[in-house]
Structure 1
């Protein structure tokens, strides 16, 4: 007989956390504000959780954070960084990752504890991007999209659902998690780097060899909004299919809505797991969004619920 998964219904108060996460400054290479927010959130709320976790950060972990619950069998990797822009010279901006801004999109940066804000200017012939501002930023100042978070009964629209939604799911998962690891990573939007040392630490310390990637995917001809989070069977990287089929069977038996995804390109933190010296089974599980890397990323609330349900199921039964 098939068993139904225990479902935690997300509430309006839960989504206040997502709104806050989407507003925090954290482009690739400068993720400490996000990490510090997560640490403060955990220390404040853990008294209400099923299991009090151990936190590892600081020396040897750079900007990352590893949160360990009980006797872990599975690790969840989710990146904290976002796309954005770096000021070069004379108000010229160069990409961090692949941001999709348009003319007059508002961006903001932090400089000497002050906020700099202004619209983007995209030159029609050269396509070079610059900042419209009376103030000349310091060379190296990073800028991110201004977040205007809106929620309806069906959708949430905001900058940086990629991947503050993954962080949100991890923090909601933490409320009921007895055994598992949450690894908050950096640099994903520029090709990665932190998972390499994190996976080695996790594998050697806890003898773990299976992982889930909590990130967002995209709407496509085969993936629709509102039909459930995706269990990705492959992108540029191909996980061991026996492990993926195991996840699919568990989701089907629990009657949790999900979509199978197959893509030829794209990647995630999983790349460093597949290339690691330690043997990892991994799978990307995430809600699909539209408007990827724009200030107006959109996700269906049903897909957020599906994503959380899947993670609760997998962390309990893997």
Structure 2
């Protein structure tokens, strides 16, 4: 089963798109403290030209795993207005938290005629980012919380690091609000180590064809279409592994996979992740069985791709 204490710790971290620095620093500190306990000691690239992105290089890599650190959220504007970051599925009364130069903030969203405002008793400094207040519950085989997308993808990537011998793990930024960091990161990984395969460690949707408790979802396509010869190989390996999985086919949505496909390099990619209900709300819900299948399938694939 997943290490829930560590998962709870990263769920409490805030990192609205464009404001990932604190969470990035937390991950770097975790990696530098823990990497001596891992099977292979990785090279760690961060800071400077990497901004808040992180690259971990293990052994002789053939495949890179991308996990985005950022979340959806809100930016304060003027006259108590809020501007969405990414695509939050917000409802009147949702609780938000944040902090500006005058101190901590806890307020609620007001939705009226399509306009978002807050009810904090003082003005919030323009440009302050606010996140959903976190409320984690674990019961009946599920975890429910804000920002399972993509804290679970980050958690999976860090669990992968424990046993990884050959591979690259990348923690990226901006994914929820249009992307932008992955083409640079893909260029670096491709040119420095010749890596031409990518897996996207992210969370997808429960639909009529992807259900709770039936395994990790292997996405054959969303709005963007990876190369079929590569997704066929992923499915063959998943079948060979005996790890529960489901096949996803969608016509909308995207991920860091889009950014890989739009980079100036021919890199095969596939999105593999557990599915959630209540997407982009404070109540995202994922099966713990599906999360465990995600962790195990990544470990299996990275030794065979």
| TM-score between both structures, scaled by the size of structure 2 | 0.98
Give the distance between the partners of 1:46 and 1:277, measured in 2 at CA.
32
Q: What residue number does 2:191 align with?
A: 204
Instruction: Say whether residues 1:139 and 2:133 are aligned partners.
Output: no
Instruction: Say whether residues 1:74 and 2:63 are aligned partners.
Output: yes
Task: Give the secondary structure class of the aligned counterpart of 2:45.
Answer: strand
Moved more, 271-280 or 235-244: 271-280
State how 1:1-318 maps to structure 2 within 5 Å: 10-11=1-2, 14-112=3-101, 114-123=103-112, 126-318=113-305
| Shift of residue 304, structure 1, vs aligned partner | 0.3
Give the distance between the partners of 1:85 and 1:58, measured in 2 at CA.
25
Q: Residues 276 and 158 of structure 1: is their aligned pair in 2 closer, same or farther, counting only changes over 3 Å?
A: same
Give the distance between the partners of 1:75 and 1:65, measured in 2 at CA.
12
Cα deviation code 1:226-249 (max 9, x no counterpart): 100110000000000000010100
Cα deviation code 1:8-36 (max 9, x no counterpart): xx24xx11111111111100000011111
Cα-Cα RMSD: 1.0
Q: Residues 226 and 113 of structure 1: is their aligned pair in 2 closer, same or farther, counting only changes over 3 Å?
A: farther
Give the distance between the partners of 2:296 and 2:240, measured in 1 at CA.
13
Task: Give the secondary structure class of the aligned counterpart of 2:251.
Answer: coil
Cα deviation code 1:81-111 (max 9, x no counterpart): 0000011101100100111121211101121
| Shift of residue 114, structure 1, vs aligned partner | 2.9
Give the distance between the partners of 1:110 and 1:75, measured in 2 at CA.
35
Give the distance between the partners of 2:80 and 2:276, measured in 1 at CA.
31
Moved more, 97-106 or 157-166: 97-106
Task: Give the secondary structure class of the aligned counterpart of 1:317.
Answer: coil
Give the distance between the partners of 1:250 and 1:308, measured in 2 at CA.
15
Gaps in structure 1 of 5+ consecutive residues: 1-9
Task: Give the secondary structure class of the aligned counterpart of 2:182.
Answer: helix
Gaps in structure 2 of 5+ consecutive residues: none
| Shift of residue 153, structure 1, vs aligned partner | 4.2
Give the distance between the partners of 1:90 and 1:18, measured in 2 at CA.
37
Give the distance between the partners of 2:262 and 2:17, measured in 1 at CA.
21
Q: What residue number does 1:4 align with?
A: none
Give the distance between the partners of 1:311 and 1:113, measured in 2 at CA.
44
Give the distance between the partners of 1:88 and 1:159, measured in 2 at CA.
23
Cα deviation code 1:109-163 (max 9, x no counterpart): 121383211011111xx22111101121111101000111111240000000000
Give the distance between the partners of 2:259 and 2:177, measured in 1 at CA.
13
Give the distance between the partners of 2:104 and 2:55, measured in 1 at CA.
30
